Amino acid sequence: MEVPKPPLLMIVIVVASCFLHVKAWHGQTYCGGNAAPRCQLRYIDCPEECPTEMFPNSQNKICWVDCFKPLCMAVCRAVKPNCESYGSICLDPRFIGGDGIVFYFHGKSNEHFSIVSDPDFQINARFTGHRPAGRTRDFTWIQALGFLFNSHKFSLETIKVATWDSNLDHLKFTIDGQDLVIPQETLSTWQSSDKDIKIERLTQKNSVIVTIKDKAEIMVNVVPVTKEDDRIHNYKLPVDDCFAHLEVQFKFINLSPKVDGILGRTYRPDFKNPAKPGVAMPVVGGEDNFRTSSLLSHDCKTCLFSEDPAIASGSVKPKNKAHKPGTPILQVEVIEWRLYIHNQHFSSHIHQHIINRKNRLDMKISKASLLMLIFLGVMLCFLRAKSQGVYCSNPYERCFQKYILCPQECPTTGAANSMNRVCYVDCSKPLCNSECRRLGPNCYKPGSACHDPRFIGGDGIVFYFHGKSNEHFSLVSDPEFQINARFTGHRPVGRSRDFTWIQALGFLFNSHKFSLEANKVATWDSGIDHLRFSFNGQELVIPEETLSTWYSPEKDIKIERARKMNSVTITIKDKAEIMVNVVPVTKEDDRIHSYKVPSDNCFAHLEVQFRFFNLSPKVDGILGRTYRTDFQNPAKPGVAMPVVGGEDNFRTSSLLSHDCKTCIYTGLSGSVKWETKHKYALLDCTRGASSGYGIICRK
């Protein structure tokens, strides 16, 4: 008996897939046959959070696939640079280096400076701006970028206009001295003849991504200086120029250890950023070191680029030692590739099988073949719906190139289950497995500090410590590390004490001083990140992506976002793990407790849960002392709200000082391993050996 030919068969499988796909409908993107990409003639599912390649989602992201990559999978790609992430240059000009430190470099209007200089590629910038009467320096913005790579010289620049019109494209391109036109269509692409340079429009106008093969990916957006910017910063803009300029974000690959340039040098492992810590607008100089004679020259004092054909052709490559495990730029790249459907390879085989059969239209199929293909389609849909996983793409991590399935009880990395847990994989661990990790602190477990402030000590006893608004107190003080808290709050008329919440945490460990705090806001907006970080006095930026990670240079402090915004986990090596959420005082809280919250402050504050390792027997602090074996908790038993005092014993002069009466922090990191029975008090022995820290749980 004959059965329908392949076109009808394909329809049957697609219909079956639609009914059996238990998740929300995914959009798809298609890799055509031009230039023979690796993913040629394949339809690739878009992630749920960005289902289309044409219309950005609420996070301003679209579905995007690089059809030339060996892994044929879609990711959510921002259509604009992230000016709050590593490698960005925005505003007048504000840089965020590869070390995560914010700094400003003003240069001079109509001059050119080296942004990145490496032996086999160079990126320069032309600055534009003006100097109002009475000022000693120019206001500047980046007006153009010039690229030197192999034998190519490529530039992109903004067109000068008096009035901004978002319906016009303000970008101009040249390649090797000739004007280049790229059609004004979303995702329209141009490549150099040798495929070394690729330019792709992310939106129809004013937004592109430039890829330099094996070297860099640069996201560029054109914006004007607005009237509001002019009013705030007093730029005194002339009437004939709105100073259209570039917002840029760089992602680098295979930099040499000696890379230089205003931004490039911040990726060197030995670089010490000259930006002054603690300054609101840290400006770095060195214009004479980075100045080039033109946009496409490499004659600055610190330029490394060479036109030697051996290097330009790629036959000689500098050994790359710049990116070791855990450096910020690699961590950012890992985040972008982690979320995907585990069985993508399986999907590819099925699609290719169908296409091959379509090309043999005259071939008749047996009933068994039809049933087998339908069965495979059903299995594909089932696996897509059930088996989301994590891909480890960082070559420096132990689980590199491994697909790791999520547990059934927490099948996704993005959406929490009913127990507020998500799938989590640490790709640097020797055991390449996944676990269900709680998204934030548990305010009802030992080591927590939540609400106004309600503590649960290491001894399991609940107590309250109110302190005083705008003062600082020691939470944990040990010889090798200290954690302080700044309290925020207010005192309504008629009350004898402040209502308080924890607004900031300060950490002292080894030679580091690290802080995180909640920003003051009048009205809470869950779509905005309210966390602010600093490291050794300098502002620190952590990209707003789930599982985005930052490490200190010595890898002894790690910060990881549990969610895109307002939730992080901090690890102090061999000492503590701290889960932090930012929350407001809600109207319901205000009504129940009669806080009488003012209209200009919702008292955004921290919910915190600590897990400690290797505490000393003499550990102190409001919370720390409850982990001592000989501690007798002064909280009165049987009282609904047991309040403990002792403010004078724990008060410090600042968030990052250790001068309280009971502080024992010395800053000396020794090799002593203390033996205390509270060391493993919070290990989860409900899931065998998978949840401990080198400990086997036995009955």
3-state secondary structure of 200: strand
Q: Which residue has the higher pLDDT, 654 or 639?
A: 654
Q: Are 557 and 571 in contact (CB under 8 A)?
A: yes
The answer on pLDDT for 386 being more than 50 is no
Place of tokens 């069985």: 343
In the DSSP assignment, the letter for residue 640 is S
For a pLDDT cut of 70, what percent of the chain falls above it? 74
Q: Which of 620, 667, 607 is nearest to 474 (CA)?
A: 620
Q: Which of 118, 203, 116, 124 is nearest to 157 (CA)?
A: 124
Sign of CA dihedral 584, 590, 592, 595: positive
Q: Are 195 and 189 in contact (CB under 8 A)?
A: no
Q: Are 196 and 184 in contact (CB under 8 A)?
A: no
Half-sphere exposure of 617 (CA within 13 A, CB side): 6
The C-alpha torsion from 581 through 584 and 590 to 595, rounded to 10°, is 90
Q: Which of 219, 211, 303 is nearest to 265 (CA)?
A: 303
Q: Which residue has the higher pLDDT, 323 or 663?
A: 663
Q: Which residue has the higher pLDDT, 10 or 576?
A: 576
CA 437-439-443 angle, to 5 degrees, is 105
**d(C-alpha 132, C-alpha 109), whole Å:** 12
Q: Are 555 and 326 in contact (CB under 8 A)?
A: yes
CA 13-18-22 angle, to 5 degrees, is 125
**d(C-alpha 36, C-alpha 39), whole Å:** 8
- What 3 state SS string does 140-163 have? EEEEEEEEEECCEEEEEEECCCCC
pLDDT, residue 32, reads: 52
Average pLDDT, the chain: 79
pLDDT grade for 425, boundaries at 50, 70 and 90: confident
Q: What is the pLDDT of residues 664-676, one digit of tens each?
A: 998 776 544 444 4
Q: Report the range of poorest mean pLDDT among 42-56, 63-77, 351-365.
A: 351-365
Place of tokens 């999978």: 73
Q: Which residue has the higher pLDDT, 198 or 638?
A: 198
Rounded to two decimals, the pTM is 0.54
How distant is the alpha carbon of residue 378 from its chain centre?
Answer: 36
pLDDT, residue 473, reads: 97
pLDDT, residue 40, reads: 64
Main-chain phi, psi angles of 519, to 5 degrees: -75, 145
The packing angle between helices 367-386 and 6-20, to 10°, is 30
* Among 6-10, 431-435, 675-679, the range of highest mean pLDDT: 431-435
pLDDT, residue 683, reads: 41
Half-sphere exposure of 7 (CA within 13 A, CB side): 2
pLDDT grade for 242, boundaries at 50, 70 and 90: very high
pLDDT grade for 379, boundaries at 50, 70 and 90: low
* Residues sharing a CB contact under 8 Å with residue 501, sequence separation 6 or more, in sequence order: 451, 452, 453, 487, 488, 489, 585, 603, 605, 606
pLDDT grade for 336, boundaries at 50, 70 and 90: very low
Q: Which residue has the higher pLDDT, 424 or 605?
A: 605
pLDDT, residue 23, reads: 35
Q: Report the range of poorest mean pLDDT among 125-129, 389-393, 431-435.
A: 389-393
The residues with which 620 forms a beta bridge, in sequence order, are 477
pLDDT, residue 392, reads: 73
Q: Average pLDDT of 660-686?
A: 59
pLDDT, residue 318, reads: 43
The answer on pLDDT for 656 being more than 90 is yes
pLDDT, residue 144, reads: 97
The answer on pLDDT for 179 being more than 60 is yes
Place of tokens 């070390």: 99
Q: Are 118 and 318 in contact (CB under 8 A)?
A: yes
Q: Report the range of poorest mean pLDDT among 107-116, 151-160, 603-612, 685-694.
A: 685-694
Residue 262 in tokens: 């205003």
For a pLDDT cut of 90, what percent of the chain falls above it? 46
pLDDT, residue 376, reads: 62
Q: Report the range of poorest mean pLDDT among 106-110, 230-234, 647-651.
A: 230-234
pLDDT, residue 35, reads: 42
The answer on pLDDT for 236 being more than 60 is yes
**d(C-alpha 565, C-alpha 349), whole Å:** 37
The answer on pLDDT for 488 being more than 90 is yes
The answer on pLDDT for 400 being more than 90 is no
Main-chain phi, psi angles of 402, to 5 degrees: -105, 140
pLDDT, residue 11, reads: 56
**d(C-alpha 77, C-alpha 52), whole Å:** 11
Q: Which residue has the higher pLDDT, 413 or 617?
A: 617
pLDDT grade for 603, boundaries at 50, 70 and 90: very high
pLDDT, residue 609, reads: 94
Burial 495-523 (b: 16+ CB within 10 A, else e): eeebbbbbbbbbbbbbebbbbbbbeeeee
**d(C-alpha 223, C-alpha 203), whole Å:** 14
Q: Report the range of poorest mean pLDDT among 127-136, 428-437, 494-503, 536-545.
A: 428-437
pLDDT, residue 230, reads: 92
Q: Are 652 and 658 in contact (CB under 8 A)?
A: yes
pLDDT grade for 76, boundaries at 50, 70 and 90: confident
The answer on pLDDT for 601 being more than 70 is yes
Q: Average pLDDT of 567-580?
A: 92
Q: What is the pLDDT of residues 498-552, one digit of tens each?
A: 999 999 999 999 889 999 999 999 999 988 999 999 999 999 988 888 778 888 8
